[in-house]
Structure 1
Amino acid sequence: MSSTTHRTIEAVWRIEAAKIIAGVARMVRDVGLAEELAQDALVAALEHWPASGVPDNPGAWLMTTAKNRALDRLRRDKLQAGKHEQIGHELEALEALIVPDFVDALDAARADEIGDDLLRLIFTACHPVLSTEARVALTLKLLGGLTTAEIARAFLVPEPTIAQRIVRAKRTLAAAHVPFELPRGDALAERLASVLEVVYLVFNEGYTATAGDDWMRLDLCNEALRLGRVLAELSPREGEVHGLVALMELQASRHAARVDGAGRPVLLLDQDRTRWDRLLIRRGLTALERAEALGALGPYGLQAAIAACHARAQAADQTDWAAIVALYDALAQLTPSPVVELNRAVAVGMAFGPAAALEIVDRMRSERSLQSYQWLPSVRGDLLAKLGRVDEARAEFEHAASLARNARERALLMERALALSAPASCDRPN
């Protein structure tokens, strides 16, 4: 197999896997089995595409192949169960789901009451029979196409822990015969918080990719945005839903300015704000107003308010950093975490000077969950550079680069190590 074909298959799988799993899950009503059947389709592609060439619509090819595998499995199961009288009618109904054109298949699914297999897959993976951690990990695996290592990095926990959560989650769902459907009434409200967490983690993985050669994976950002907007329509009285949508819209508005012509990262304070998407900013501010009208802001709403401070500033030097510090203070009270505190330290440095921020960061150096988090030494390096402690700053940036798994991040951090005389900026990407 040529390296080009292999890379193409990998890219197609990364984009289409979640949709294929969701489409098959609607047939077999078992997300673990659906993932296995989708993997069978991937194996078929690896066997056939090198010889026959990549199809014009590779997503449709994979979807059809996976659904055919599902039909074969259902036929075998029905025959083994001895239910001959029912098999004909059931298979006719199932075969109607196999639509050669993948776009038509999605259109047909979205014509349902909620109309989205991906959304059903999220709520199934977030079923109350699972722990919160398992719901998030499983949904990231099935819908985000993330590897176990990437999910572990997002959670700042060991990779084997995430692997065990995913395996146990699929077994639990199968044993409990969890239906592949959307929750109703009180059950919808109970499961919404976990779904919001999942959607935002998927968005974050697209916004700043954990690993690989690309700084962003816009397909994941767009999928998370789409699911967030659907959730907002489903739950118009839920302030945190609108808060999450606002946050994603405002962050997504910066996409065009976050990389230069060569694909290298551009940090927030260095971005050309004329390239920010004004439509997405308006959408984000409108969603934030809806969240505020529904009561006190929750964690997503507060983060959206922080993003709004940046969006409203016509230039970087017009940013209201004192207001951002106050918002981080409120966020830390609601959801205290080392990452929130690190972000707060960056804001303190911009509002009150690097010395004040360095005191906060130095207290965090022993935090175990941040030992492999590249932005801790990166932020410290930026603060040291501003204080003129150049040798220490260079060492921190080199250490940060050694922790980075994304090639663009690593290059950015090495550039900071080699060019400390460049204008200082907020060091955590935004």
Structure 2
Amino acid sequence: MAEPTAPEPTAPDPTAPDPTPDARAAALDAADPLRDRRAAFVLDDDTVYLDGNSLGALPRAVPGRLAEVVTHEWGRLRIRSWTESGWWTAPERVGDRIAPLVGSGPGQVVVGDSTSVNLFKALVAAVRTVPDDRDEILVDAASFPTDGYLARSAARLTGRALRPVPAGGIAAAAGPRTAVALVNHVDYRTGELHDLPGITAAVHAAGAPVVWDLCHSAGAVPVGLDAHRVDYAVGCTYKYLNGGPGAPAFLAVRPDRLAAFDSPLPGWNSHADPFAMAADHTPADGAARGRVGTPDILSLLALDAALDVWDGVDIAAVRAKSLALTDFFLDRVAAELPPGTAPSVTPADHARRGSQIALRHPDAAAVTQRLIAAGVVGDFRPPDLLRFGFTPLYTSFADVLRAVRVLRRVTLGAEG
């Protein structure tokens, strides 16, 4: 599958001069091809929610679907639902719904467990495919802490050394000693988008596989797993995919890697014949090799219902709106706040920007709380970052304008 290319936004240029910021926001919202998706979410009119990069908003279809699962499938059908309601095949079925959003194909994605568990599976399975003299695991030095913890554990388990490298240096660092590289697609603190095609190609040229963490890009940025021949990828589903708190994560494996995928956690659910209760493990075919234990059905089916909001959505259109939203936000911050008040640490270059903006402020923790009290929900990352996530399916340009005006008020004490 070719990687989607973001089209030119159909909305007006968010940096073009307009009579007033309000008119600009209104014009951008009127021209937004995704504007009708907002109605599919439970949102408060008095709150601007810019924390979808931590927990996505609730899709309206989820409560009713969960009630059906609980009262009918569990309450009435009970154990029959494993077959009659399709519970048993849900991890692969839901995986197939996520696959197009990350540029993967049918039968390559399985949903279950946490991102941490899936990272561990992918890392160890990757190392098991390379010769023993490839004795280094490269890891993005600025990765989310769990990624580093798990990479270190995988290194101990497989007798490798861990080598932290800045994400931008992994391509150059990859060499004959590289067993696998683990990279975050989007930096969780700064919102920087790393070069997935270039880094993947460089690691492959060095003869090693790569594992990508898509937690901050799945559902916000075109990924192109198949187009760029990514070996393994993992991601959570409770951010831009709106699956709910603690929703199960996903694991994607390139088709030609599936047959050799040797999971370090070979549970009964990944057995070729689970109910044979055999003493020896024979791995299942396809993505089911990534399963471990009994699926978390309630969370899994809540995610399945949440994914309905993606029906008919082009991820390239999502990317175009994401860039327009973040451009508008940066433009209004520059216009509303005195220079140096809250400088952005997120790259201005579209090719290096995810779907969040991080601003630096010396009193960021307190500012975040004042923003929340004033109805603008973002979050804080120590020591001094204000983080704002832009979820194109439900964030409006009017939201952005209001957020910046509140940011001005709480940082400067000015009316806006």
TM-score (norm 2): 0.24
Q: Which has the larger radius of gyration?
A: 1
Whose helix proportion is higher, 1 or 2?
A: 1
Could you say which structure has the higher strand fraction?
A: 2
Pick 1 or 2: higher relative contact order, CA cutoff 8 A, min separation 6. Answer: 2
